[in-house]
Chain A
Amino acid sequence: MSDLFDVGRWKPAPFLPERESRDGALIFVVAVLCFLACLTAMGVIAANRAASGWTGQLTGEATVIIRPRGGETPDAAAARAAEALSGVPGVAEARALEPAKAYDLIRPWLGDVSDLEDLPVPRLVAVTLDPRHPADGKRLAAALRADGVDATVDDHSIWIKDIRRAGGLVRWLGGGVFLIIAAAAGAVVAFATRAGLAAREDVVEVLHMAGAEDGFIARLFQLRFARVAGVAGAAGAVAAAIVAGGLRIAGGGGGLTPALPLAWGDILAVIPCPLIAALVAAAAARFTAMKLIRAMA
C-alpha cells in the first residue's frame, strides 16, 4: 500500500477540478460587472436621496407674491399678507421678506445694475409650512382673498412634480441598468458553463455512465460557477466600496455633488453583491448545464 496515501483519512475530491485556466478571465469579467452594478446601486441611492431632499425642501415652503392695492404701500401689503397667513392651519411661519432680500433674489438674473432699487419689484412673503400637515396653495390663496390681499401663491407644486418624476426616472434607470448588468453576468456565466461542459465532456460522460442523474451533474457546474461568481462579486463589491469611499472623502461633507450626495451608509449597498452574483451564476449555470447534459444524453 502507498506510503503517501492514508486510506483512513481519504476524503472524496471534487468531481470537477477546483480551478480551471479560464477562471481568471471569468472572475475578471464578473468582477467588473459587479463593480459597475455596485456603483449603479450607490448612484441610484444617492440620487434618490437628493431628489427626496429637494422635494422635502420644496414641500415645506411656499412663496407669496404681493401686489399692493391703491393707497397701500408694498411693505404694508406684505405685512398684512404675512399676518393673514400666520393664522392659517398648516402654516408654521409667514414672514414678509425685506425689500433688500427681494433685490438679492433678482440680482443674479439682472446683473450688477446700480439703480436696481428703482425697479418695481414685488414684495414677497416666505411661508414655512407645517411639515406634518402642510397647507396647500388653495388654502393659502383663500386666506389671502378673505383678507383682501391681491397675491399669487407659489406652492412649488410644478417643481415638486418635476423633481419627483426625475427621481422616479433615476430609480427606473438604475433598476434597468442593474438588470442589464445582471443579464450580462448571467450570459457570461452561461457561456463559461458551455465552455466548461465542452471541456469536461469526459467527466459528464463518465458520471452519466456511472449512473449519475442529470440534476446531480448540473449541480456540480451550478455550485462551481456560483462559487466563482461569488468570489468575483466580492472582488467587484470591494473595489466599488473603495472607489465610493474615495469619492465620499474627495466630495467632502456634501457627498460627491449636490445631485449625488453620497453618504457613507450608501456603501453598504455593495454587501448583497456577492450573493446576487452567485445566485445569478447558479441559475445561469444550472439552466445551461441541464440543457446541454440532456442534449449529450
Chain B
Amino acid sequence: MSRNPNAAAASRSADEVVRFDDVSMRYGRGPEVLSDLNFALPPGSFHFVTGPSGAGKSSLLKLIYLAARPSKGLIHLFGEDVAHLPPSARPRLRRRIGVVFQDLLLLEHLSAFDNAALPLRIAGRKPAEYRADVAELLSWVGLGGRMHAMPPTLAGGERQRLAIARAVVARPDILLADEPTGNVDHEMAVRIFRLFVELNRLGTTVVIATHDQDLIARSGKPVLLLEHGRISTRPLQGPVLL
C-alpha cells in the first residue's frame, strides 16, 4: 500500500517548527530565487542562514514568516501546511513568530516604548501586564534612557536594537532576524547574539540571516548555506568563542 506523501510530510512536520519540502520560489515570472529547498528546523534549534548577496536569504525568511508564497513545494509551520491555511488563521501563526526585518520597519510616529510593546498590544494583553517587561527589555538592549524617543531621533544601532526588542518581546516560538547586527558595533553585536542565545535557551527557535562570518564562526552554531538559490547545511562549527 502506497503512503500519501503529503500525509507523511505532515506527520514528520508535527514535531518541527519549520519544514520545507522541495520548496522553490520566484518573484512574478522571474527566475527562481530559491530552488528545491529541503530542510527542517526542530524546536529549540539555532541556525544561521548565510550566503552571498542575492542568494535568497531574505526570501527564505519571508517564506517562513508568511510574507511570500512558494511557487512550488510544501511548507509546514508548527506542523500546519501553510498552503492550505485559511487567511483567518495566519495572524495566529504570525503571533508565534518574531521578525527583525532587514529594513527594521519601525513605526516612526510611535515612541520606542510603543514600538517595542506593539506585538503585546496586538496579542490583546493589558498594559499593566507587560509595562515592566517592556521597560526591562529596552533597558537590556541599552535603550533604557531612550524609551520616550521617536525612531527618527534614534541612531542606527539604537533603531536596530529597538527592532530586536520588538521581535523578542512576546517570547515568540521562532525568531527570524535578517542581518540583525548590520548596523551595530562588535560589542553590541555580541550582546545581541547573547540575547538570541538566551531566548534560544528558553525554547525559542532562532534563525539569523547574516553576512557576519566572524560572528558565525565564533558562535559554534549550525549554518544553512544558500548559494544560487540552493541550500546546504554545515554542521555545528568549532568551539564557542562568544
Interface membership of chain A positions 59-89, coded 1 if the CB is closer than 8 angstroms to chain B and 0 otherwise: 0000000000000000000000000000000
B91 touches A17 (CB 8 A): no
B221 at the interface (CB under 8 A from A): no
Contacting A at CB under 8 A, from B77-119, are 87-88, 90-95, 97, 99, 101, 105, 107-111, 113-114, 117-119
Contacts of B88 in A (CB 8 A): 213
Given the known interface contacts A5-B148, A10-B127, A202-B105, the answer about A210 and B114 at a Cβ–Cβ threshold of 8 Å is no
A12 touches B127 (CB 8 A): yes
- 9 more CB-based (< 8 A) A-B contacts, given A13-B114, A214-B87: A7-B113, A11-B127, A12-B114, A12-B121, A17-B109, A206-B107, A208-B91, A209-B65, A213-B88
A1 touches B145 (CB 8 A): yes
B119 touches A297 (CB 8 A): no
Query: What separation, in Å, do the CA atoms of A73 and B94 have in the docked complex?
Result: 102
- Select which of A4, A211, A214 is within 8 A of B95 by beta carbon: A211
Contacts of B147 in A (CB 8 A): 1-2, 5, 7
B135 at the interface (CB under 8 A from A): yes
Q: How many residues of B contact A (CB 8 A)?
A: 39
A8 at the interface (CB under 8 A from B): yes
Q: How many residues of A contact B (CB 8 A)?
A: 27
B144 and chain A: residue at smallest CB distance: A1
Contacts of B65 in A (CB 8 A): 209
Chain A's nearest CB lies how many Å from the CB of B38?
Answer: 26
B186 at the interface (CB under 8 A from A): no
Describe A's contact surface by its main secondary structure.
loop
B153 at the interface (CB under 8 A from A): no
- Select which of A8, A13, A207, A214 is within 8 A of B122 by beta carbon: A207
A179 at the interface (CB under 8 A from B): no
B94 touches A210 (CB 8 A): yes
Contacts of B111 in A (CB 8 A): 5, 13
Contacting B at CB under 8 A, from A181-211, are 202-203, 205-211
Query: What separation, in Å, do the CA atoms of A57 and B118 have in the docked complex?
Result: 68
Chain B's nearest CB lies how many Å from the CB of A236?
Answer: 28
B146 at the interface (CB under 8 A from A): yes
Chain A's nearest CB lies how many Å from the CB of B35?
Answer: 26
A2 touches B146 (CB 8 A): yes
Interface membership of chain B positions 119-163, coded 1 if the CB is closer than 8 angstroms to chain A and 0 otherwise: 101110001000110110001000011111000000000000000
A206 touches B105 (CB 8 A): yes
Which B positions have Cβ atoms within 8 angstroms of A? 65, 67, 87-88, 90-95, 97, 99, 101, 105, 107-111, 113-114, 117-119, 121-123, 127, 131-132, 134-135, 139, 144-148, 166
B119 touches A211 (CB 8 A): yes
Contacts of B95 in A (CB 8 A): 210-211
Supply 5 A–B pairs (Cβ within 8 Å), ascending by A: A5-B111, A5-B148, A12-B127, A211-B123, A297-B90
A12 touches B105 (CB 8 A): no
Contacts of A202 in B (CB 8 A): 105, 107-108
B149 and chain A: residue at smallest CB distance: A2
- Select which of A8, A13, A214, A297 is within 8 A of B110 by beta carbon: A13
B144 touches A2 (CB 8 A): yes
Contacts of A7 in B (CB 8 A): 113, 131-132, 134-135, 147
Contacts of A13 in B (CB 8 A): 109-111, 114
Query: What separation, in Å, do the CA atoms of A17 and B108 have in the docked complex?
Result: 10
B94 touches A211 (CB 8 A): yes
Contacts of A209 in B (CB 8 A): 65, 67, 94, 97, 99, 101, 105
Query: What separation, in Å, do the CA atoms of A191 and B34 have in the docked complex?
Result: 38
Given the known interface contacts A1-B144, A5-B148, A210-B118, the answer about A10 and B131 at a Cβ–Cβ threshold of 8 Å is yes
